[in-house]
Amino acid sequence: MTMKKIGVVGAGMMGAEIALCFAKKNMPVILSDVTQELAANGKKKQEDVLDRSIAKGRFPAEDKQAVLNCVATTADLKDLADCDIVIEAVLESFEIKAKVYQQLDAICKKETIIASNTSSISITKLASAVSKERVGKFIGTHFNSPASVMKLVEIIPALLTDEETIQATTQLMMAIEKEPVRVKDVVGFGLNRLFHVFYLEACRLVEEGVCTIEDVDKICVYGLGHPLGIFKLLDHTGHDLNQPIDQILFDAYGDRFRPSPQIQRLVDAGRLGRKTGHGFYDYSKK
């Protein structure tokens, strides 16, 4: 199964970057959101990402327009009817996602694969929103943020996903130069179990006064070879996402994922990270 036409639902932080991964490989992609304005904002985010890459000498300026030309925007899911795969990246809510799948299931051709970028919801539970004819074509594709840079994509089959869907999705990820890793449909998949256990220990180091936020980040960068410190990364992903996933992991696995009071305080104060100008770090002055 070769996939030529890609749909992405949700033009936020993840959706815009996921769509960009395909456009950079000259694949036509339709990016949708609830309004045309939000979908167009997604395309603007893509342009900003490309401009930053061009400024750093990592992307040729002369290719920018061709990449952007691969992306069409829409507020009407019917425009995704003939996509070979639709990747959903809307808000992390079962109810919202389920409604999107039901609409896509009714609109899309019978061969269309529906993939979810959920961070924490069971893929098998999400698959229950589609018809029995579609259920073999439902799969999880968990991209890492920023999706246009990070190579990892976790491929998460639901209980009833068919092998052809798994293979076709894996091939597609390789075609856009990602490193697909197949993981079971367990809470947190692979990445978030590692990520959360690591950052919760980083929070404990700060709470116990062992070292500062800045020094933990230095340990990550200069001792572990990470490209950026864990607290900078948490500010990038957003505490409104980090906090509920902590809770979901704690509910599933118990004490080793006990949520951090520091993250809760930041959420309560509206300091959600880079996007609000303040998280562990202050971004308002830059």
Ligand X SMILES: NC(=O)c1ccc[n+]([C@@H]2O[C@H](COP(=O)([O-])OP(=O)(O)OC[C@H]3O[C@@H](n4cnc5c(N)ncnc54)[C@H](O)[C@@H]3O)[C@@H](O)[C@H]2O)c1
Q: Whole-number minimum distance, CB 45 to ligand X, in Å?
A: 9
Among the listed residues 153, 151, 125, the one whose alpha carbon sits nearest the alpha carbon of residue 138: 125
Whole-number Cα distances in Å, 79 to 29, 43, 110, 141, 283: 11, 17, 15, 22, 38
Q: Give the residue from 185, 89, 187, 184 showing the smallest Cα distance to 144.
A: 89
| 226: annotated active-site residue | no
- Indicate the residue among 32 and 112 with the shorter CB distance to ligand X: 32
Tell me if residue 119 is catalytic: yes
From 17, 32, 142, 148, active-site residue: 142
Q: Which is nearer to ligand X, 184 or 285 (CB)?
A: 184
Q: Choose, from 192, 196, 239, 242, the residue flagged as catalytic.
A: 192
Q: Which residue has the tokens 């490309």?
A: 50
Nearer to ligand X, 54 or 271 (CB): 271
> Kindly report the CA angle at 105 between 72 and 145, in degrees rounded to 5?
55
Q: Which of 32, 116, 119, 120 is catalytic?
A: 119
Report which residue's Cβ sits closest to ligand X. Answer: 12
Q: Which residues in this chain contact ligand X in the complex, by CB under 6 A? A: 9-15, 32-34, 38, 89-92, 96, 100, 117-119, 143, 145, 237-238, 241
For tokens 């004819």, what's the residue?
133
Task: Show the beta-strand stretches assigned E in the chain.
Answer: 6-9, 29-32, 71-74, 85-88, 113-116, 138-143, 152-157, 179-182
**Is residue 29 classed as helix, strand or coil in its secondary structure?**
strand
Q: How many Cα neighbours within 13 Å face the side chain of 183?
A: 21
Residue 128 appears among annotated catalytic residues: no
Query: 17, 120, 154, 239: which one is catalytic?
Result: 154
Mapped onto helix, strand or coil, the DSSP state of residue 179 is: strand
Instruction: Establish whether 154 is a catalytic residue.
Output: yes
Which lies closer to ligand X via its Cβ, residue 117 or residue 260?
A: 117
Q: Which residues are catalytic?
A: 119, 142, 154, 192
